Structure 1
Amino acid sequence: MAKSAEIPIIDFASGRPEKEIAKELCEAAITYGFIYIRSGALDVGAVDRAFDISKHLFSTTDVEEKKRCSIQKNNRGWTGIRSETLDPKTQKAGDFKEAFNFGEFVDGKAQQPVPNSIADREGEISDIFDKFRALAVRILYLLGVGLEVNPPDFFSSTHLKENGSSGTTLRFLHYPSVDSAEETTDAIRAGAHTDYGSVTLLFRLKGQAGLQILTPSSTWAPVPVCPPTTESDPSPPVLVNIGDMLSYWTNGLLKSTTHRVAVPTGDGDAAASDVLEGEGFKGGRYSIALFCHPAGKTRLEPVPSEVVQRAGEKAGTVEATGTGEGKVLTADEHLATRLKASYIDLYKK
């Protein structure tokens, strides 16, 4: 039986001192790059509605209607099975999943084609998008407090609508049931990768395992949907992870941790050793992610923080830019680079 990843659980219950929560968040982000958040962090009803819409979208929309809404270079729309390759250097085939990406909404309206099957719920999706983003902005503010950034809202303010459009994306994900040997060739549903943005909020369903993170010892550790002490919560805790942009901003102090989605069949295949008791799952899998990005023109250079500065000096790091060539990228430039590597066929057109 696999040993689960060591990820801290942080309580967002009302009444807790802001600086106490901020300190715990930063310690987890520095050490692990992943964090569980529980206790009133988000309206459970919004999460339930999101999964209801997602299941309806993938189960009732025919392929031609999905193709009408195919993903474009702005990262919005539907992407089919094997069309995205998150680990192009090692994957033999694209990811065994489909997804639908929603970009930012304007006055409750999507700025992209929406499938007819969920068109009547467009305003509801916009509301869910806003609720999820509000939590992400709160987390970013608390990280600023914990890192003693000057001003403390440095991170969070760049993610507000009024400061410009961004690549923030609400993604509905569906991993179909794996039924054939061909589909389990490498036992991977989503290739190893780091997330492109600043922070990601991940919502999962009980019993639907598969997420794994790469540990410092270069082994894969499963990430339980309901870690110990949360099993009886109304819904699984929100899983938060640090993305590339926040790592660049902090000179690598906050960890953008590599992760993947495996096929936890538990029947002797390559992923069997990574199955947690009670979380093996052979059927279809649904998850929802909010990939939070700052305004597109934001430069990814180290933030004004003595904590970050001291950590950089100790590590001998002068500047983290994401290019290795001394150039400071903007948020949009970094996102474009990562998308081009993941959607090979799209960018060939």
Structure 2
Amino acid sequence: MSNPLKVINISQSTPTIAKELLDAATSQGFLFLEGHDFTQKEVDQLFDLSKDFFNLPTDYKLKYPVDSSNHGYAQMGKENLNPSDQKQGDPKEALNITSLNFETGTSSLVVPDWITDDKDRDALVSNTIQKLYQLSLQILQYLAIALEIENTENTKGEDWFASRYKPDLSSGSTFRFLHYPGQKSLNPESVIRAGAHTDYGSMTLLFQKENQEGLEIYSPVSKKWEQVPFVPSTIDGMAPPIVVNVGDLLSYWTAGLLKSTIHRVKFPKKVQETGQDRYSIVFFSHPNDDALLEPVPSEVIRKIEGRGANKDTNYITAKEHLQKRLSATYGWKQ
């Protein structure tokens, strides 16, 4: 399988990294990020934890149902990421952990006691959440530098995004375990495991496993669906590159310059035939709830007319945007 995405190594800061990230974000909207500080051991432990959780009895998992805060367990078919084209919910289950405090890596809401009552599991989850938050801020800082965001009265240009991600304030950021049960049917209507969609926040960071491929993007470059392969690590002892993609808010803030690319999960033929399950671990990075979706103060963005935040004068907040998207996904009334 060919790889349509750039692999960018951020382990050594160089003058070209910011430009490389911006080029990827403005072309495909997706990239592979190497040089993060997640070890293979850590990521293996996360996937083991995820598999063990989803193997728990359904009655136990349903004690923690997903609610209007997007927190909790979403059972099979609960979520529909493409409600305009799909009548049935997606054939997957998920555990969402929201209402996060990034100073502690913990949620203010109830997390399954199978995790919180076990010291090792609890520490693994909270440490992962903190590290993913810090990594997302690092990426945002590079993008701010590449966009040449201007200094404002209270904020340096390179910190413009980060200033809207205060660790102790509420946000829509979500840490998520996902399980797509395998199936052997070759019915083309049954191979979509997560409907075509864009992500609701600013950026998404994704761990995926070898031989559990399925992610596809609708490439803004080729104008067709492209499979995203598994890419192994080139750094000894470290986990494979993390898939990073731009979400709606970064695209909106930048008047569409950064691409929030449509993507889906579709089981490849070999996975259908083997009945292989797919597990993925995702961090959806959102700004603080009260962050306004206003134009980024950058000459690069100012030149783009009639798109995203540049076309509006009444700006909504990040929380208002998220509530609209979640209402459509879960069928909730606003």
- Per the normalisation by structure 1, the TM-score is 0.85
**Aligned residue for 1:92?**
87
Verify: 1:332 aligned to 2:319, yes or no: yes
Question: How many residue pairs were aligned?
Answer: 322
Q: Distance in 2 between matches of 1:266 and 1:143?
A: 37
**5+ residue gaps in structure 1?**
270-279
Verify: 1:133 aligned to 2:133, yes or no: yes
**Alignment map for 1:103-114 (pairs within 5 Å):** 103-106=98-101, 107=104, 109-114=106-111
Change in CA separation of 1:194 and 1:281 when aligned onto 2, cut-off 3 Å: farther
Query: Would the aligned equivalents of 2:100 and 2:173 in 1 still touch at CA under 8 Å?
Result: no
**Aligned residue for 2:158?**
152
TM-fit CA distance, 1:230: 5.1
Within the candidate set 11, 20, 26, 1:13 is matched to: 11
**Aligned residue for 2:96?**
101
Q: Distance in 1 between matches of 2:174 and 2:216?
A: 22
Query: Would the aligned equivalents of 1:86 and 1:191 in 2 still touch at CA under 8 Å?
Result: yes
Query: Would the aligned equivalents of 1:110 and 1:122 in 2 still touch at CA under 8 Å?
Result: no
Compute the RMSD of aligned alpha carbons.
2.5
Verify: 1:259 aligned to 2:263, yes or no: yes
Q: What is the SS of the residue equivalent to 2:59?
A: helix
Change in CA separation of 1:327 and 1:192 when aligned onto 2, cut-off 3 Å: farther
Q: Distance in 1 between matches of 2:37 and 2:142?
A: 13
Q: Distance in 1 between matches of 2:27 and 2:224?
A: 16
Q: Determine what percentage of the aligned residue pairs are the same residue.
A: 41
**Alignment map for 1:269-308 (pairs within 5 Å):** 282-308=275-301
**Aligned residue for 1:273?**
none
**Aligned residue for 1:277?**
none
**Aligned residue for 1:39?**
35
Change in CA separation of 1:185 and 1:260 when aligned onto 2, cut-off 3 Å: same
Within the candidate set 47, 65, 73, 1:51 is matched to: 47
Query: Would the aligned equivalents of 2:327 and 2:333 in 1 still touch at CA under 8 Å?
Result: no
**Aligned residue for 2:204?**
200
Change in CA separation of 1:245 and 1:71 when aligned onto 2, cut-off 3 Å: same
> Structure 1, residues 152-197: CA drift from partner, whole Å, max 9, x if none?
11112211314x2101100000001114567x63420000000000
Query: Would the aligned equivalents of 1:108 and 1:122 in 2 still touch at CA under 8 Å?
Result: no
TM-fit CA distance, 1:22: 0.5
> Structure 1, residues 223-271: CA drift from partner, whole Å, max 9, x if none?
00117x859884321110000000011000000000000011249x9xx
Query: Would the aligned equivalents of 1:174 and 1:285 in 2 still touch at CA under 8 Å?
Result: yes
**Aligned residue for 1:244?**
248
TM-fit CA distance, 1:215: 2.0
> Structure 1, residues 12-37: CA drift from partner, whole Å, max 9, x if none?
122x32x3111110011011100111
Letter in 2 for 1:37: L
Letter in 2 for 1:130: Q
Change in CA separation of 1:232 and 1:80 when aligned onto 2, cut-off 3 Å: same
**5+ residue gaps in structure 2?**
151-156
Query: Would the aligned equivalents of 1:29 and 1:254 in 2 still touch at CA under 8 Å?
Result: yes
Per mean C-alpha deviation after superposition, the further-off stretch among 108-117 and 28-37 is 108-117
Change in CA separation of 1:72 and 1:155 when aligned onto 2, cut-off 3 Å: same
- Per the normalisation by structure 2, the TM-score is 0.88
Verify: 1:116 aligned to 2:121, yes or no: no
TM-fit CA distance, 1:334: 0.6
